[in-house]
Amino acid sequence: MKDHPEQTNNETTEEPKEKFNLKEEIINWIQILVTAALIAFVLNRFIIANSRVPSASMENTIMTHDRVIGSRLHYYFEDPERGDVVIFYFPDDVTEKTYYVKRIIGMPGDVVDIRDGHVYLNGSDTPLDEPYIREPMETPVELHYEVPEGCYFMMGDNRNYSADSRFWHNTYVRKEKIVAKVLFRYFPSIGAIR
């Protein structure tokens, strides 16, 4: 009987490495970028609205240069309510490229009177309770508005520094021009908007 030398298996079971294919890599990256852009487009066009507030008109609820996110879907399921902070197309901009962020004060059919630093609704002798306003509103003259059906009367929380329904040529915002209900601020800090 012959002795057979012990055989050793020095072969490894590693899978052969795939060759780098620049063309496939570029196609993969393009697919990822196109998919990400499509997702961002759908989110921004149909689900959320992103807006930057450039002025002090909503302080102290939303500070100058804050960035906010609103839900575009919110008003598909329910109507806007008094006190909602909303993103809408500025009614005096026919191009509909300018977003404004204000609070809904007057609802469709409301009578809004502004006098002695307060807002009065529908002939009430009691002013609207507005804990969110920054400081007492200066009202050198009494103002009277009758909100048409399907429209809303908007005001900023920083009443003395807000270009809002009181000063626009097109005083009211139609429901279909409301883009989203503001949910929260995300820059420079995160916080819910009420």
Q: Which residues belong to the active site?
A: 57, 102
Euclidean distance between CA atoms 48 and 40, whole angstroms: 10
Euclidean distance between CA atoms 63 and 57, whole angstroms: 8
The DSSP letter of residue 28 is H
Instruction: Count the neighbouring beta carbons within 10 Å of the beta carbon of residue 109.
Output: 12
Distances (CA, A) of 90 to 27, 33, 95, 139, 182: 42, 33, 9, 23, 16
Helices (H) and strands (E) in the chain, counts: 2, 11
Beta strand extents in 36-137 (DSSP E only): 48-52, 67-71, 85-89, 99-106, 111-115, 118-121
Euclidean distance between CA atoms 36 and 194, whole angstroms: 31
Euclidean distance between CA atoms 57 and 191, whole angstroms: 18
Helix (H) or strand (E) holding 33: helix 22-42
